[in-house]
């Protein structure tokens, strides 16, 4: 990409490095393509276009349109974008398209640990919130979780569920001291900020001798969680109810869980104190948070880029709407540990860390 003559004249006056400028313009073109493609990923997911070709066999635009009861002209243009993006392969010799197996895992197979389409559903909800968040930049106000577009609630569950399914029972719980054995023999577990109940249901399926309760302050999510527990066949040992993190009912829990929500709360220290009050003396608090370093420079990564964006649009507004401290999605272990200790916990350690998650274990 070559700079315009007028730009060249300006560059001479401001000593702009044209090579760096052109490199950055190239980055912007790539980012713009990614941003605009996100809308088409959402549409492809919504209409089942990826799932219709998940078998990896070659197909034509007309065949995909027929399978999904859509219009071929739209499908043909959509496929052009997908091929240019590297999501779907195009064979110029046969004029046919193919969804590679790796892309199929990420875009077409909902149960896959690599499934990523839910993240784009969340992104579309963030775009819906732009007018409100823009005003909040000037006013300092928050945006309550329930005020977002409904696609956020489902998209968040679909984004987090693959990671929970792949790691929660296999890695995270076994990394906690003695918790796996307790759950296998029969324990009392509470999941705070449960959303649609993905984490609660996954644990219930793995530990049939234990009982689980999920609490969330968003009533529509609680109703969705109840339906999903029923569909999963675990409603005999799983219950869901509306409650806040600082006043949920019950006592003598063996395990209290906060999945990717402590930083969103209006009163995280109060929530930590309530966990302390409702936990058994030998109980465990498991805190799953977005993976982050303690300093900005540690989070200037592709994953940090995603989390800072989500934090700006979702996490910080959620906390501010409750007059909270707005810890943000990249709060970091040092900040989180301080919250936990101020809540009355004597012990706190990092049990595990993945590129996306930080797993902390706290004990009284």
Q: Which bin fits 197, alpha (ψ -120 to 50), beta or left (φ > 0)? A: left
Tokens of 216: 């969330």
Q: Are residues 98 and 182 in the same domain?
A: no
pTM comes to 0.89
CA distance 210 to 204: 7
Judged by DSSP in three states, 147 sits in helix
CA distance 312 to 136: 11
pLDDT digit string (tens) for 120-131?
999 999 999 999
Q: pLDDT of 176-193, one tens digit each?
A: 999 999 999 999 999 999
Separation CA 72–CA 54 (nearest Å): 18
Question: Are 97 and 147 part of one and the same domain?
Answer: no
3-state secondary structure labels for all residues of 9-66 = HHHHHHCCCHHHHHHHHHHHHHHHHHHHHHHHHHHHHHCCCCHHHCCCCCECHHHHHH
Kindly tell me the sign of the dihedral angle through the C-alpha atoms of 239, 243, 246, 247. negative
Residues 6+ apart with CB under 8 A from 300: none
φ, ψ of residue 239 to 5 degrees: the values are -130, 150
For 187-250, give the DSSP string: -EEEEET-TTSHHHHHHHHH-TTSEEEEEES-HHHHHHHHHHHHHHT-TTTEEEEE--TTT---
* Domain of residue 295, residue span: 117-363
- The residues, ordered by sequence, that sit 6+ positions from 5 with a Cβ below 8 Å of its Cβ are none
- CATH label of the domain that carries residue 324: 3.40.50.150
- Decide if pLDDT at 2 tops 60: no
Is 286 inside any structural domain? yes
One domain for residues 308 and 345: yes
Positive or negative CA dihedral for 147, 152, 154, 159? negative
Predicted pLDDT at 338: 96
Residues 24 and 90 in one domain: yes
For position 77, which CATH number holds? 1.10.10.10
d(CA 1, CA 153): 41
At which of 52, 83, 107 does a domain end?
Answer: 107
Q: How confident is the model at residue 308 (pLDDT cuts 50, 70, 90)?
A: very high
7 pLDDT higher than 90: no
The two three-digit tokens of residue 319, written as one number: 């906390």
| Gap between the Cα atoms of 9 and 4, Å rounded | 9
Residue the block writes with tokens 């009861």: 69
Read off the pLDDT of residues 219-240 as tens digits, 9 standing for 90 and up. 999 999 999 999 999 999 999 9
Q: What three-state secondary structure class fits 178?
A: coil
44, 78, 107: which is the final residue of a domain? 107
Residue 102 and residue 121 in one domain: no
| pLDDT confidence band for 91 (50 / 70 / 90) | very high
In a domain, 112, yes or no: no
Calpha distance 305→307 (Å, rounded): 6
Rounded mean pLDDT of 254-268?
97
């Amino acid at each position: 990409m070559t700079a315009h003559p007028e730009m060249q004249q300006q560059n001479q006056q401001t000593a702009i490095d044209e090579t760096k400028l052109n490199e950055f313009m190239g980055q912007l073109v790539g980012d713009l393509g990614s941003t605009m493609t996100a809308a088409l990923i959402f549409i492809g997911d919504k209409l089942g276009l990826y799932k219709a070709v998940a078998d990896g066999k070659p197909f034509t635009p007309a065949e995909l349109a027929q399978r999904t009861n859509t219009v071929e002209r739209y499908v043909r243009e959509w496929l052009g974008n997908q091929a240019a993006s590297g999501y779907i392969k195009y064979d110029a010799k046969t004029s046919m398209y193919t969804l590679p197996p790796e892309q199929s895992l990420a875009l077409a197979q909902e149960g896959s640990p690599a499934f990523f389409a839910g993240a784009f559903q969340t992104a579309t909800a963030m775009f819906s919130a732009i007018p409100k968040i823009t005003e909040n930049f000037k006013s300092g106000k928050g945006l309550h979780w329930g005020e977002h577009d409904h696609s956020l609630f489902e998209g968040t569950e679909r984004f987090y569920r693959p990671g929970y399914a792949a790691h929660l029972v296999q890695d995270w719980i076994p990394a906690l001291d003695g918790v796996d054995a307790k759950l296998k023999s029969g324990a009392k577990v509470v999941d705070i900020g449960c959303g649609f109940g993905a984490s609660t249901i996954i644990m219930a399926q793995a530990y049939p001798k234990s009982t689980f309760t999920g609490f969330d302050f968003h009533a529509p999510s609680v109703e969705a969680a109840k339906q999903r527990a029923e569909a999963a066949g675990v409603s005999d040992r799983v219950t869901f109810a509306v409650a806040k993190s600082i006043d949920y009912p019950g006592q003598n829990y063996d395990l209290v869980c906060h999945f990717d929500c402590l930083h969103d709360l209006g009163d995280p220290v109060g929530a930590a104190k309530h966990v302390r009050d409702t936990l058994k003396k030998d109980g465990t608090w498991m805190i799953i948070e977005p993976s982050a370093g303690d300093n900005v420079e540690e989070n200037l990564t592709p994953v940090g880029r995603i989390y800072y964006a989500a934090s700006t649009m979702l996490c910080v507004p959620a906390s501010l709407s409750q007059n909270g401290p707005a810890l943000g999605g990249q709060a970091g272990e040092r900040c989180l540990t301080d919250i936990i200790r101020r809540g009355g916990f004597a012990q706190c350690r990092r049990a595990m860390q993945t590129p996306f998650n930080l797993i902390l274990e706290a004990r009284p």
